[in-house]
């Protein structure tokens, strides 16, 4: 009997899933499968926080499938080998999946599609993860965009497809299911429990993602442009991990904003909504860059930046202080501790901590990218690469070399009352707001009353801001002079 293998990857949802929709249209039994192929990820296998999320997302997907008479078959190993075995076990004559855009995955999938089609198996892939696929977008010269504003302006002229509504009332299942690993056999959860904060913060899976989307879309977006910069408030969508794992699609996000525009008859309905959609645009831009410049996860887009004079950190002490949130700059430390505890960091603070690493400490942006890759639940190769190269000044649309985020000014501007710092750096919680972002300048009696002993329960700053800024600017100027 014929069957269709539905190969789940970063599309762990049942609605607006083009591969699922096409599989159902064939009218034969559908066998959903997920293959953990760590070698197939190339140089970027999943980090610890992403593995935690994936475990719980697969659990949620399997439960949703079982409610509809299906189940999720789990395998581990080489994707091509596992698919061949599953085709034999199910007599499948088709394999459907949704595309991914990481360089190693593109190469692997191309080989798999050729092999399957050559064997008479219908191999089809679909777009489920982006509004517009990278190969479909080009500038006036026919090449890739390297600046966000014209890229997004162009995208806004293109139609966005409606989310696909899928009926799962009667889904044909195979008479006999192939063998499957148990979820725990994938060994995605940490052996040493460190994930309590992740479980307190997130609900992986399609249902959790759609709940968050409804919550965000129901709020007034008029203030989003301002609120998104205040880390002490619930002002951002926090949809990034659900988008990364495909539990929510960008088309569903777009449609949610469109729904808000119906009453006003204007799309987008407000400045805040337009800014929010531009954040979706940055995600699109990141994938556009990764597709066209596949070397950028390891090397800067601006080749001359490979000669940048990074500072020495022979014992790794400065890097460890940054990673642990012990730099002595409260807004930086708060961000790094939020990251470790929850697997996520507010976007404004991501820019602050990234600038601190590459410009105050003058440590390579790759170190930051690797740390984020391991600790973010939304660790996405395209977004991570774009963000770090932007901060370092070596990528597309990069921050100007002279832009050095001043952590004290950033803290005072965007966390004026100190709500964010007090939450994530509790040893400073009793300091008054005027001293919170510069505890080293606080009078001794204020520190004593707040229970703060610099050098003991909170560190002195590991670098002086003014000196570090001058050194960074000198290094950037030297690089620019040498590249002329």
Each residue of 415-426: pLDDT tens digit? 999 999 999 999
- Say yes or no: 322 and 410 in one domain: yes
Active-site option among 115, 122, 177, 310: 310
* pLDDT > 90 fraction of the chain, expressed in percent and rounded: 88
Q: For residue 110, what is the domain's CATH number?
A: 3.40.50.620
Tell me if residue 344 is catalytic.
no
Number of domains in the chain: 3
Cis before 175? omega within 30: no
pTM: 0.96
DSSP 458: B
Contact 382, 53 (CB under 8 A): no
pLDDT at 49: 98
Quick check: is 172 in a domain? Answer: no
pLDDT digits (tens, 9 = 90+) for 214-230: 999 888 677 899 999 99
| Catalytic status, residue 279 | yes
> Is residue 329 scored above 90 in pLDDT?
yes
Catalytic (active site) residue 441: no
- Can you read off the two tokens belonging to residue 46? 């999943």
From the list 152, 177, 282, 440, the catalytic residue is 282
The verdict on 121 and 30 lying in the same domain is yes
To the query of whether residue 365 is one of the catalytic residues in this protein, the response is yes
Q: Catalytic residue among 242, 322, 340, 388, which? A: 388
In a domain, 173, yes or no: no
In a domain, 308, yes or no: yes
What confidence score (pLDDT) does residue 223 get?
86
242 flagged as catalytic: no
**Residue 277: pLDDT band by 50, 70, 90 thresholds?**
very high
Residue 418, token pair as written in the block: 């100190």
The residue range of the domain holding 255 is 129-163+204-292
Last residue of one domain, picked from the residues 271, 292, 313:
292
405 and 382 co-located in one domain: yes
Q: 384 an active-site residue?
A: no
Phi-psi region of 69 (alpha: psi -120 to 50; beta: other; left: phi over 0): left
Whether 124 and 34 have beta carbons less than 8 Å apart is answered as: no
Query: Tokens 């690797």, residue?
Result: 370
pLDDT digits (tens, 9 = 90+) for 103-160: 999 999 999 999 999 999 999 999 999 999 999 999 999 999 999 999 999 999 999 9
Q: Does the pLDDT value for residue 1 go beyond 90?
A: no
By percentage, how much of the chain surpasses pLDDT 70? 97
CA-wise closest residue to 170 among 69, 312, 87, 253: 69
* Judgement on whether residues 52 and 116 belong to the same structural domain of the protein: yes
Contact 255, 159 (CB under 8 A): no
Name the nearest CA neighbour of 202 among 250, 236, 229, 242.
Answer: 242
Q: Kindly state whether residues 55 and 91 are assigned to the same domain.
A: yes
Instruction: Answer yes or no: do 474 and 355 share one domain.
Output: yes
Between 28-37, 165-174, 315-324, 341-350, the lowest mean confidence (pLDDT) is in: 165-174
Choice among 279, 370, 427, 440 that is catalytic: 279
In whole angstroms, what is the distance from residue 95 CA to residue 9 CA? 13
Burial, 93: exposed, middle or buried (Cβ in 10 Å; 0-12, 13-18, 19+)? middle
Give the contacts of 140 (CB within 8 A, at least 6 positions apart): none
Q: Is the pLDDT of residue 397 over 80?
A: no
Residues 6+ apart with CB under 8 A from 30: 3, 4, 6, 20, 23, 24, 70, 171, 172, 173
Residue with tokens 């599309």: 11
Per-residue model confidence (pLDDT) at position 261: 75
What is the mean predicted confidence (pLDDT) over 226-249? 96
Q: Is the dihedral of CA 311, 399, 341, 337 positive or negative?
A: positive
Residues 150 and 256 in one domain: yes
Model pLDDT, residue 484 = 46
Whether 460 shows a pLDDT value over 60: the answer reads yes
375, 239 contact by CB (below 8 A): no
Given the residues 347, 383, 384, 435, select the one marked as catalytic: 347
Buried b (16+ CB within 10 A) or exposed e, 258-286: bebeeeeeeebbbebbbebbbbbbbbbbb
**Catalytic hit among 7, 97, 365, 371:** 365
Last-in-domain residue among 261, 292, 323: 292
Residue 181 tokens read as 């690993």
């Amino acid at each position: 009997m014929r069957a269709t293998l539905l190969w789940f990857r970063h599309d762990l949802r049942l609605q607006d899933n083009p591969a699922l929709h096409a599989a159902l249209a064939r009218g034969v039994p559908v066998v959903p499968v997920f293959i953990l192929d760590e070698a197939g990820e190339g140089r970027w296998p999943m980090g610890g926080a992403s593995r935690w999320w994936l475990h719980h997302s697969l659990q949620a997907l399997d439960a949703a499938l079982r409610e509809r008479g299906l189940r999720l078959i789990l395998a581990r190993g080489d994707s091509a080998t596992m698919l061949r075995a599953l085709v034999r076990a199910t007599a499948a004559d088709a394999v459907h999946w949704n595309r991914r855009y990481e360089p190693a995955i593109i190469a692997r999938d191309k080989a798999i599609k050729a092999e399957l089609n050559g064997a008479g198996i219908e191999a089809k892939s679909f777009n489920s993860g982006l509004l517009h696929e990278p190969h479909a977008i080009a500038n006036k010269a026919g090449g890739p965009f390297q600046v966000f504003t014209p890229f997004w302006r162009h995208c806004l002229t293109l139609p966005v497809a409606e989310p696909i509504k899928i009926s799962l009332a009667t889904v044909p299942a195979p008479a006999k299911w192939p063998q499957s690993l148990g979820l725990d056999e994938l060994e995605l959860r940490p052996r040493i429990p460190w994930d309590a904060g992740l479980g307190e913060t997130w609900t992986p899976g399609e249902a959790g993602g759609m709940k968050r989307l409804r919550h965000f879309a129901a709020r007034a977006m008029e203030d989003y442009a301002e609120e998104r910069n205040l880390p002490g408030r619930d002002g951002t969508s926090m949809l990034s991990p659900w988008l990364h794992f495909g539990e929510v699609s960008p088309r569903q996000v777009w449609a949610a904003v469109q729904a808000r525009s119906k009453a006003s008859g204007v799309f987008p309905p407000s400045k805040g909504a337009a800014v929010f959609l531009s954040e979706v645009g940055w995600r699109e831009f990141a994938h556009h860059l990764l597709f066209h410049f596949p070397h950028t996860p390891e090397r800067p887009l601006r080749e001359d930046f490979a000669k940048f004079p990074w500072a020495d950190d022979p014992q790794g002490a400065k890097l460890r202080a940054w990673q642990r949130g012990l730099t002595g700059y409260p807004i930086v430390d708060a961000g790094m501790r939020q990251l470790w505890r929850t697997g996520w960091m507010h976007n404004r603070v991501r820019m602050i901590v990234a600038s601190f690493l590459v410009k105050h400490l003058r440590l390579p942006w790759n170190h930051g990218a690797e740390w984020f890759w391991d600790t973010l639940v939304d660790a996405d190769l395209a977004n991570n690469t774009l963000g770090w190269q932007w901060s370092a000044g070596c990528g597309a649309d990069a921050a100007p070399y002279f832009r050095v985020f001043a952590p004290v000014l950033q803290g005072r501007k965007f966390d004026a009352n100190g709500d964010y710092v007090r939450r994530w750096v509790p040893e400073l919680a009793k300091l008054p707001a005027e001293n919170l972002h510069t505890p080293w300048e606080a009078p001794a009696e204020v520190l004593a009353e707040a229970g703060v002993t610099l050098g003991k329960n909170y560190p002195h700053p590991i670098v002086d801001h003014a000196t570090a800024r001058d050194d960074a600017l000198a290094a950037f100027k030297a690089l620019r002079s040498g590249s002329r």
